[in-house]
Structure 1
Amino acid sequence: PGESSRIMEHSPVPMSPLESLASSAVKTANSSKAALILVLTRGGSTAKLVAKYRPGMPILSVVVPEIKTDSFDWSCSDEAPARHSLIFRGLVPVLSAGSSRASHAETTEEALDFAFQH
């Protein structure tokens, strides 16, 4: 927690919305003595920002692959964001199953279910 506070004091002001979200998540998790921080991410940048603030608990980074389609072909992003997360302090990456659901709410619900099972 002391290291997190020092990093937050030296962060640029104003912060980007994503940076503000990450620092607030760490501050809240530290003050509530949470067991872990759960982050849903596609490319890994959100989880890496949370790790930047060095929380006092592990960060479970659930990487949700993006399924894309054009009129002829379906493709799914690879596991590279999960692999790249391995070098960041405190990040524990897991790769969720991809989804072809139309809404982000349904994909988020599936990813949360996946995270709670692991």
Structure 2
Amino acid sequence: MSSKVSEKVTALIHKHLPGQTIHAVYITHAHSDGQSFVYFPDNEIIYQGDFLEISFDNSLPTHMADVEKEFIEFLHQEKLPYQRIIGHHKNNNMTPDVVNAYYSAHHPLSAKQD
């Protein structure tokens, strides 16, 4: 990213989200090269695109893609506290209970016990 673009993004963040801490997190083995998500630690919110797709009604998909498994495992390994995951395609209110139920449904022997 050019410094001019970076300066514009920083200015927009400070204008619309004053005082907020924002982390852009890159996961190496993602759906596409350079895929990342944004984490707002003050509010414990994650905004992501294609890492995780769960329907609006929180019904659990019958298949879990590798990228979804890796994303959930990354959250657990990093002990990243969150109250809500916002997805830009479908659900905008995925809670830890829903995410953990989805993971457990597809990986019962390695399910994370919190």
Q: TM-score if structure 1 supplies the norm length? A: 0.30
